[in-house]
Amino acid sequence: DLEYHLDPKTKELPHLRNPDILVGENDLTALSYLHEPAVLHNLRVRFIDSKLIYTYCIVLVAINPYEQLPIYGEDIINAYSGQNMGDMDPHIFAVAEEAYKQMARDERNQSIIVSGESGAGKTVSAKYAMRYFATVSGSASEANVEEKVLASNPIMESIGNAKTTRNDNSSRFGKYIEIGFDKRYRIIGANMRTYLLEKSRVVFQAEEERNYHIFYQLCASAKLPEFKMLRLGNADNFNYTKQGGSPVIEGVDDAKEMAHTRQACTLLGISESHQMGIFRILAGILHLGNVGFTSRDADSCTIPPKHEPLCIFCELMGVDYEEMCHWLCHRKLATATETYIKPISKLQATNARDALAKHIYAKLFNWIVDNVNQALHSAVKQHSFIGVLDIYGFETFEINSFEQFCINYANEKLQQQFNMHVFKLEQEEYMKEQIPWTLIDFYDNQPCINLIESKLGILDLLDEECKMPKGTDDTWAQKLYNTHLNKCALFEKPRLSNKAFIIQHFADKVEYQCEGFLEKNKDTVFEEQIKVLKSSKFKMLPELFQDDEKAISPTSATSSGRTPLTRTPAKPTKGRPGQMAKEHKKTVGHQFRNSLHLLMETLNATTPHYVRCIKPNDFKFPFTPAVWRFCLRLEHSSEGLLSFSLLHHQEVLSGRSGKQEEAATLWPLSWTALRTMTFYQPTRSSTTNRHLRR
């Protein structure tokens, strides 16, 4: 007989072990004993022994195999079409079919919410879901709308994806694509919303990372006859593409990828002239990054005469060299009584140059999104839609800034949406139907959301500080401490820093560095530089800045990324000519908060389907799980504690079937126990009466 000893700390036996017949089960809710070690063991067995990357539960669990698998062809799509989800092996196509079937059966819009950390396979999963809908539904017209929907992927990946240390094709923006259907449930079109483009990547890349793919595609195609006017060369020649020291991605031919990008543009109806206009602007950004400044003194700088990078930039942009040269080294300031021109230092000029490059890229990104949406728009009335959400997962690094704050805020909102759907609404339904039910006390993250977005919350105080003439990151930090420290349990101050704050998120504690928050939230760019670009003889360039007339303030620009908000025209105010009301300036945080609220309204009006992507290791090794990483992903699941959700679902099935037996207990566990995988083997009598639920 085997002997099992109590844990000296918890005074408990090891977790109960499932019968061998259930090891590798494709539905986690069918496990007799459901706890995190059992979930981990089951996922590992399926992944390593059977090379199976999908597993059912209350969400579809998808583990990135880091290998191309022959399981996404049209024959596989046809095999899943029309089938019941429980009758087929776990697959992204099964989830897509279930969403398609429920849309037709219930006449209710659907959403597929794909989440996970960078490198977990979110974008690929979203693409396969879109491919499924495009294949099974057919087109309502002769225009092959489904082909256009799929063609949007390579375009958006080229301008919105980049190589990071974690992922060779990391999406640096969030997107929600609504695929529209007519009354016969055939695709008629689509519409895409994008969120929080990572603009800082345009001018800075960390070690072993790249800028957006499109820049390297351009450089790799520099010798093409039509590209000679762009005056490009190797990516190592440009400041904006060489910083990470990683211009090549193993197994990727950037020149071939450029051909795919151009083909997709053509399929979506973007003309050759507009395509060349896009490439002309992108090349201009690269040359702008090579513009150098020489200090005159501590407070002023100059650009060398006929500086070649600036000459090429002005030639490509169709603007006057002397005028642009002047406003790169000066800025206009206005007081209540006068306007004057002030020189700026070398550092200020460099920062202003980078801000201009980021602003141009964000405007071009928005222009491309708008044109993709125009190409996907249908005159046929939409009867229903299925939305596919591919958005960044929870992030925590050694240094966390404004970008991580916004990303984690978005994940808090998605976690709340999941809680609402899986726990709160279902429990209310059971009580309404008088089904025997033990109330589950699930984690409610509303206090954390309140800390971020309520009145006098972190975003509110940030916006207020951005309005202050002498507001700084340090003064904002002090206001945070005064407002929330020792008053909100989720807010902390680091012991050794007065320039950072800590938030206890649903997944983990994250320390944010305050430096740069105000600048990134204001998204400042000098108005005079924008005026020079608006005067361009290159017709396409002024088109990018048309919405600035509605939303830009005298010294700053609209936020990055695309939001579905209607911009309100700023009303002229009394005072100096051309001044706009400051209250109409929308900060990045303000726009992002509003766009998230609209996204949540959309998701809550649909039936959601969840796909949880897991990254098995940090080295991109095929079918090689690192146990500690699996533990971390289960603990930090952005759909909530995965096993807790599973236990809830198992109890639901038990309650609905009228079973009175007690569900398996989910014990608090240490991650050491997960790694050692120690289980208690129950006796035969202890499993005889255990109902296996499928």
- What are the residue numbers of the active site? 118-119, 123, 167, 170-171, 393, 395
**Cβ atoms within 10 A of the Cβ of 156, count?**
23
Count the Cβ atoms, other than its own, within 10 Å of residue 357.
Answer: 24
* Residues 342, 329: Cα–Cα separation, whole Å: 9
Place of tokens 């597993």: 55
Ligand-binding site membership of 118 (annotated): yes
Q: Which is nearest to 403 in space by CA: 597, 164, 641?
A: 164
- As a whole number of angstroms, the distance between CA 607 and CA 387 comes to 10
- Given its phi and psi angles, is residue 85 left (phi above 0), alpha (psi -120 to 50 degrees) or beta? alpha
Residue 121 marked ligand-binding? yes
Quick count: other Cβ atoms within 10 Å of Cβ 591? 22
Give whole-number Cα distances, 297 to 236, 294, 305, 306, 345, in Å: 31, 9, 18, 21, 8
SS3 653: helix
Structure tokens at 319: 């603007």
Is 86 annotated among the ligand-binding residues?
no
Identify the CA nearest to 284 among candidates 87, 536, 46: 536
674 φ, ψ (degrees, to nearest 5): -65, -40
Any known ligand binding at 251? Answer: no
Backbone phi, psi, residue 192, to 5°: -120, 130
Q: What are phi and psi of 640, to 5 degrees?
A: 100, 180
Structure-block tokens of residue 382: 């939409």
Tell me: is residue 123 an annotated ligand-binding position.
yes
Task: Please count the helices (runs of H) and the strands (runs of E) in the chain.
Answer: 26, 18
Q: Tokens for 549, please give them.
A: 């007339």
Is 122 annotated among the ligand-binding residues? yes
* Both tokens assigned to 531: 């005026």
Tokens 């141009």 locate to: 360
The number of angstroms, rounded, from the C-alpha of 388 to the middle of its chain's C-alpha atoms is 12
CA 175 to chain CA mean position, Å: 7
Three-state secondary structure string covering 153-197: HHHHHHHHEECCCCCCCEECCEEEEEEEECCCCCEEEEEEEEECC
Question: Which residues have CB under 8 Å from 120's CB, separation 6+?
Answer: 62, 64, 393, 613, 614, 615, 633
Tell me the HSE value of 409 on the side-chain side, using a 13 A CA sphere: 27
* Position 433, amino acid: E
Between CA 359 and CA 541 the distance in angstroms is 12
Q: Is 670 annotated as a binding residue?
A: no
The answer to whether 376 and 192 have CB atoms below 8 angstroms apart is: yes
Question: Please, are residues 329 and 301 in contact by the beta-carbon 8 Å criterion?
Answer: yes
Q: Is 220 annotated as a binding residue?
A: no
Distance CA 662, CA 656 (A): 14
Closest Cα partner for 317 from 534, 547, 549?
A: 534
Distance of CA 36 to the CA centre of its chain: 27
Segment holding 476, helix H or strand E: helix 473-484
- Which amino acid is it at 475? T
The 3-class secondary structure across 424-470, one letter per residue, is HHHHHHHHHCCCCCCCCCCCCCHHHHHHHHCCCCHHHHHHHHHHCCC
Residue list for the binding site for ATP = 116-123
